[in-house]
Amino acid sequence: NTRTVRIETLAELFTCAKINHVVPENIERELWAKFMVNVSINTISAITRGTYGDCAHIPAIRDLIVDTQREVVALAQKAGIEGLGEAYIEKYQKVFASLEYDGKTSMLQDIEAGRPTENKWFCVRASKLGKELGIPTPLIDVLGRIADGAEAVQKRHIGNR
């Protein structure tokens, strides 16, 4: 979380090359925010086969995403990450709502193509962290198991074509 000369040099290089970039004040918080998004929307979109628009506008899906994000926030807080909370959840809800309605997450695309998903780095990892930190993650635990099942079923269907 320190702005080093190396980071400043890289940022200057991006600026000179006219590459849009942001140097976050707190990279650990931003990594946890990305983890929160991946655990929630990637997993839930893959399970429901929902697009970005579905995830943003169908209350049952949107609410499940938010509840899952709250479990990740609890993990982050227990891990000592400050500033990740409702404001970040609201921020990403607005981001999802602004994306192309029929756009698909990478995990949904993986499921549809019969490719291995990133579930072991998302829900499975979050579940393990919950156990290590003593934080219950009931939604994440169930979503991870369902995602593994959805991946296996889709792989079987694609293999039978």
In a domain, 152, yes or no: yes
Give, in order, the Cα–Cα distances in Å from 112 to each of 43, 61, 103, 105, 108: 13, 19, 13, 11, 6
Note the pLDDT of residue 6. 85
Task: Tell whether 19 is covered by a domain.
Answer: no
pLDDT digits (tens, 9 = 90+) for 137-149: 999 999 999 999 9
Q: For residue 6, is it within any domain?
A: no
Residue 16 belongs to some domain of the structure: no
Pairs from 91-94 (Cβ < 8 Å, separation ≥ 24)? 92/33, 92/36, 92/37, 92/41, 93/56, 93/62, 93/65, 93/66
* 65: in domain: yes
Is position 85 within any domain? yes
pLDDT > 90 in the chain, percent? 77
Supply the range of the domain harboring residue 59: 26-159
Banded pLDDT at 124 (limits 50, 70, 90): very high
Asked if the structure places residue 39 within a domain, the reply is yes
Residue 99: closest CA among 52, 63, 57, 38: 52
The answer to whether the pTM exceeds 0.75 is yes
Task: State pLDDT tens for residues 17-71.
Answer: 999 888 778 889 999 999 999 999 999 999 999 999 999 999 999 999 999 999 9
Report if residue 21 sits inside a domain.
no
Q: How many domains is the chain partitioned into structurally?
A: 1
Which pair of structure tokens corresponds to residue 30?
Answer: 């931003």
CATH of the domain at 85: 1.10.1040.10
pLDDT band at 3 (very low <50, low <70, confident <90, very high): confident
